């Protein structure tokens, strides 16, 4: 959508590859397989959106990628390959503690979700910008007041705030401080977890523009996590849709919005009101999101999927990629099931491209 960025060297070369990542939590006598075999590939300098409803494992996946999972959580399997600009790829999950520490912030920066409590309440903003720089070997005389000030200015904040404490800042200002901080070392990848959630539209626009500028100026790739599809449509190049701890569909943002493949994505889009076009009744996906303690056998979406058939209940679908690089994990797209796929398409056409439960009290 924002293609044609200057200095885009090898656009399809991945900078981060997540393969079969699993993050499990142990508690109450069971294992919560919050993320369970999720894969995605972040290309250099692209903005990849990670979408999905609450509780599908988006934030946990981010923590897994950054190796920030805290006990009682663990990462039982998976690989997170980081490709530096020079040199061979490294698996972040297999690195030693000191190697991971050095990789953080210079290679992988993080904009956390809980912006209200992510800053140290007893340290000045300047100190919290500085400590990451010194920890990664920026000499003290290179960290000037003007450098810190321009960092804040780049997210539209006054340099006066350098001497402020977090409690003196509003939520939107703190969020922007976190973003400014993540760009301090020009990282290869910025992983932003719901950076616009809870902000008013003005602050949202500011955040999005800052993230876009980060790519322009630092050539950073961005993994942008949000449950808000409208924000994805606004910002990202490609979208990965997560359901029940797995990535079920991944494709160019226009393709996802025009011709979504996975029934879940279709349902998700049907539940989103549109500003343009004729007024249509909104639909909700029937049923409830499953529990990570007990994922459904087979395809995890099958209990809620109106197109499910026998195979979906027993066999989990494998992700397959079409010629344009659009990935989907659904049995309907296997060559042998083309008749069922045609049936689904026919039914969707009849229903105006939508399925599911009509939402009540929504006038047409």
Partner 1 sequence: MERRGAVPHAPQESQLADSVPNTALRAARIVRRRRVLMVVVRRLGGYVLSIWAAFTVTFIFFHLIPGSPIDAYAQQMENQFGQQVPLSSQVIAFWNKEFGLNGNVFEQYYRYLTNTLLRGNMGPSFIAFPEPASELIFHALPWTVGLFGSAVLISWIMGLVAGLLLAWFKDTVVAPTLTTLALAGAQIPYYLAALGLVFLFAFILLWLPQQGAYAASLTPHFDFRFIGSVLKHSILPGCSLVITSFLGWAISTRALVVSIMGEDFLLYAEAKGLRTGTILRHYVLRNAMLPQITGLGISLGFAVNGAYLVSYIFNYPGIGLLLVNALTQLDYNVLEGIVLISIVTVLTANLLLDLCLPLVDPRIE
Give the one residue of 1, 84, 123, 338 binding partner 1; rule: CB under 8 A: 123
Q: How far is the CB of 105 from partner 1 (least distance, A)?
A: 5
Residues 201-240 vs partner 1: string with x where CB under 8 A? ----------------x-----------------------
Number of residues that bind partner 1 (CB under 8 A): 47
Nearer CB in complex with partner 1: 146/258: 146
Q: Is 145 in the site for partner 1 (CB under 8 A)?
A: yes
Q: Is 105 in the site for partner 1 (CB under 8 A)?
A: yes
Scanning residues 35 to 54, which ones bind partner 1 (CB under 8 A)? none
Q: How far is the CB of 107 from partner 1 (least distance, A)?
A: 9
Nearer CB in complex with partner 1: 109/327: 109
Q: Is 200 in the site for partner 1 (CB under 8 A)?
A: no
Q: Is 156 in the site for partner 1 (CB under 8 A)?
A: no
Give the one residue of 11, 20, 76, 144 binding partner 1; rule: CB under 8 A: 144
Q: Is 102 in the site for partner 1 (CB under 8 A)?
A: yes
Q: Which stretch binds partner 1 (CB under 8 A): 87-95, 126-134, 261-269, 295-303?
A: 126-134
Q: Is 198 in the site for partner 1 (CB under 8 A)?
A: no
Count how many Cα atoms sit within 13 Å of the Cα of residue 175 in the half-sphere of its side chain.
23
Q: Is 303 in the site for partner 1 (CB under 8 A)?
A: no
User: What are 75's strand-pairing partners?
Assistant: none
Structure tokens at 125: 């903003």
Structure tokens at 259: 């011709």
Give the one residue of 10, 96, 122, 277 binding partner 1; rule: CB under 8 A: 122
Identify whether the C-beta of residue 34 lies closer than 8 Å to the C-beta of residue 245: yes
Structure tokens at 12: 């399809």
Q: Is 104 in the site for partner 1 (CB under 8 A)?
A: yes
Q: How far is the CB of 99 from partner 1 (least distance, A)?
A: 10
Nearer CB in complex with partner 1: 145/346: 145
Give the one residue of 13, 26, 85, 101 binding partner 1; rule: CB under 8 A: 101
Question: What is the SS3 string spanning the chain?
Answer: CCCCCCCCCCCCCEEEEEEEEEEEEEECCEEEEEEEEEEEEEECCCEEEEECCCCCCHHHHHHHHCCCCCCCEEEEEEEEEECCCCCCCEEHHHCCHHHHHHHECCCEEEECCCCCCCCCCCCCHHHHHHHHHHHCCCCHHHCCHHHHHHHHHCCCCCHHHHHCCHHHCCHHHHHHHHHHHHCCCCCCEEEEECCCCCCCHHHHHHHHHHHHHHHHHHCCEEEEECCCHHHHHHHCCEEEEEECCEEEEEEEHHHHHHCCCCHHHHHHHHCCCCCCCCCCCCEECCCCCCCCCCCCCCCCCHHHCCCCCHHHHHCCCCCEECCCCCEECCHHHCHHHHHHHHHHHHHHHHCCCCCCEECCCCCC
Q: Is 26 in the site for partner 1 (CB under 8 A)?
A: no
Give the one residue of 79, 147, 320, 354 binding partner 1; rule: CB under 8 A: 147
Binding residues for partner 1 (CB under 8 A): 66, 68, 70-71, 100-106, 109-110, 112, 114, 116-124, 127, 131-132, 135-136, 142, 144-147, 149-150, 153-154, 159-160, 162-163, 165, 167, 178, 181, 217
């Amino acid at each position: 959508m924002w293609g044609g960025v200057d200095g885009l060297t090898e656009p399809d070369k991945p900078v981060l590859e997540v393969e079969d990542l699993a993050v499990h939590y142990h508690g109450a006598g069971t294992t919560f397989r919050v993320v369970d075999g999720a894969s995605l590939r972040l290309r250099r300098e692209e903005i990849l959106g990670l979408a999905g409803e609450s509780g599908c494992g988006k934030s946990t996946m981010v923590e897994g990628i950054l190796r920030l999972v805290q006990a009682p959580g663990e990462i039982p399997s998976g690989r997170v390959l980081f490709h530096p600009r020079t040199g061979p790829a490294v698996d972040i999950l297999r690195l030693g503690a000191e190697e991971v520490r050095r990789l953080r912030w210079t290679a992988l920066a993080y904009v956390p979700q809980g912006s209200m409590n992510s800053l140290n309440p007893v340290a000045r903003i300047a100190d919290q910008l500085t400590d990451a720089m010194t920890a990664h070997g920026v000499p003290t005389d290179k960290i000037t007041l003007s450098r810190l000030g321009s960092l804040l200015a780049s997210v539209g904040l006054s340099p006066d705030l350098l001497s402020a404490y977090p409690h003196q800042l509003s939520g939107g200002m703190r969020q922007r401080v976190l973003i400014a901080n993540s760009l301090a070392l020009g990282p290869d990848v910025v992983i932003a977890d719901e950076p616009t959630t809870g902000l008013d539209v003005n602050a949202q626009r500011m955040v999005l523009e800052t993230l876009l500028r980060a790519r322009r100026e630092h050539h950073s790739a961005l993994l942008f996590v949000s449950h808000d599809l409208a924000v994805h449509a606004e910002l990202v190049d490609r979208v990965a849709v997560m359901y029940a701890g797995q990535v079920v569909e991944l494709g160019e943002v226009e393709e996802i919005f025009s011709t979504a493949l996975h029934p879940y994505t279709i349902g998700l889009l049907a539940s989103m009101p549109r500003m343009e076009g004729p007024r249509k009744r909104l639909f909700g996906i029937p049923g409830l999101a499953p529990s990570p303690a007990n994922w459904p056998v087979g395809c995890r979406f099958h209990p809620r999927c109106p197109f499910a058939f026998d195979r979906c209940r027993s066999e989990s679908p494998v992700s397959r990629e079409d010629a344009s690089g659009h990935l989907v994990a659904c049995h309907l797209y296997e060559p042998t099931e083309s008749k069922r796929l045609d049936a689904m398409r026919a039914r969707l056409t009849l229903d105006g491209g939508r399925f599911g439960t009509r939402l009540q009290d929504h006038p047409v």
